[in-house]
């Protein structure tokens, strides 16, 4: 199964972004600390679902297994997780997350395109948490491998996620003498499967799609602006993709310009709020 159209990020871009598993944990901590919405998006995603009969779970772009702890005691005692991720470093931490729930599990280090070799109707719960925008071309395959009566749960961002920060980039690029692209790759990534277009993309492949809005923003005061900069820095291979490829020596200047722009904005406006609206899609077959 090949991606339809141009692949926005290469395997290397994704691996460089997510190979430091510890960074992802710190990033999640920053999100929790500065989010205005204090509900846990996983509780919202799984609320009122009867999962007692679920025994085959597929976790796509699983990372360290963000969802797993919330499934403890909710599945069949025979439940078995399969996590797939392109980053091998997630293996141990994923296996440990599964073990802590008492269920069985395995980790497959591969590209999501490998699901084309999986049997049809093999899983009764499939999860894609903040990952489907990397491989929206896999939706049809996801529907094929989901059992009748099964559920696919996907969580994704708004297409405007982080735009209050990334909107500074074109001006910063001009400032350091680089021609800005029409739209930066990170925005294109979020647009590939977003709160706004997710329902339309999923509807042709499932019997029913429910959308649950999770409104949120991350609010950083001037005193905490370093956490905001750190959070963005962890996404540098996604945010500065075009510049890394064409002008690798200028990335540091661009990062510094973005950090300064954010700091000045926050100083003038008593902080900065970043869009962190998400949506949960529950798809039934
Ligand atoms: C934002 S992280 C989300 C991780 C986890 N699901 C969570 O909610 O914390 C996106 C994950 O998707 C994985 N990923 C992206 N593209 C992939 C691909 N083509 N095949 C397999 N994994 C991929 C990345 O390695 C990363 O772990």
Q: Which atom of ligand 1 is nearest to the CA of 24?
A: 9
Question: What pLDDT score was predicted for residue 79?
Answer: 98
Residue 251 has pLDDT above 90, yes or no: yes
Question: What pLDDT score was predicted for residue 6?
Answer: 57
Joined together, the tokens standing for residue 206 give 């499932």
Look at the block and give the residue holding tokens 């021609």.
Answer: 179
Instruction: Decide whether any atom of ligand 1 lies within 6 Å of the 94 Cβ.
Output: no
What's the rounded mean pLDDT across residues 264-280?
A: 98
Q: CB–CB of 84/141 below 8 Å?
A: no
50 SS3 class: coil
What's the rounded mean pLDDT across residues 238-263?
A: 95
Give the CA angle between residues 17, 155, 150 to the nearest 5°: 125
Domain boundaries of the chain, sorted by first residue: 11-284
Q: Which residues pair with 83 in a beta bridge?
A: 59, 107
Q: Which atom of ligand 1 is nearest to the CA of 15?
A: 25
Is 11-284 assigned to CATH 1.10.10.10? no
How far apart are the CA of 179 and the centre of ligand 1, in A?
A: 30
How far apart are the CA of 63 and the centre of ligand 1, in A?
A: 6
pTM of full prediction above 0.85: yes
């Amino acid at each position: 199964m090949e991606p339809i159209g141009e692949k926005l990020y290469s395997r290397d871009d994704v691996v460089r972004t997510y190979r430091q598993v510890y960074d992802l944990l710190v990033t999640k901590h920053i999100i929790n600390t500065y989010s205005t919405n204090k509900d846990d998006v996983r509780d919202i995603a799984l609320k009122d679902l009867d999962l007692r009969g679920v025994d085959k779970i597929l976790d796509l772009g699983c990372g360290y297994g963000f969802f797993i702890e919330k499934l403890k005691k909710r599945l069949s005692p025979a439940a078995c997780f399969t996590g797939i991720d392109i980053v091998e470093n997630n293996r141990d931490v994923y296996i440990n997350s599964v073990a802590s729930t008492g269920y069985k599990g395995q980790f497959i280090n591969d590209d999501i395109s490998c699901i084309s070799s999986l049997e049809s109707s093999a899983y009764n719960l499939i999860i894609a948490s903040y990952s489907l925008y990397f491989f929206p071309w896999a939706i049809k395959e996801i529907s094929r491998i989901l059992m009748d009566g099964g559920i696919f749960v996907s969580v994704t961002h708004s297409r405007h996620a982080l735009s209050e920060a990334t909107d500074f980039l074109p001006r910063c690029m001009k400032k350091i003498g680089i021609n800005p692209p029409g739209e930066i790759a990170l925005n294109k990534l979020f647009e590939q499967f977003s709160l706004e277009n997710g329902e339309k993309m999923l509807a042709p492949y499932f019997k029913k799609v429910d959308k649950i809005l999770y409104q949120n923003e991350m609010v950083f005061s001037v005193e905490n602006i370093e956490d905001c900069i750190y959070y963005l820095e962890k996404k540098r291979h996604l945010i500065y993709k075009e510049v890394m490829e064409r002008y690798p020596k200028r990335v540091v200047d661009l990062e510094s310009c973005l950090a300064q722009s954010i700091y000045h904005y926050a100083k003038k406006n008593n902080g900065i709020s970043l869009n962190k609206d998400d949506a949960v899609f529950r798809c039934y077959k």
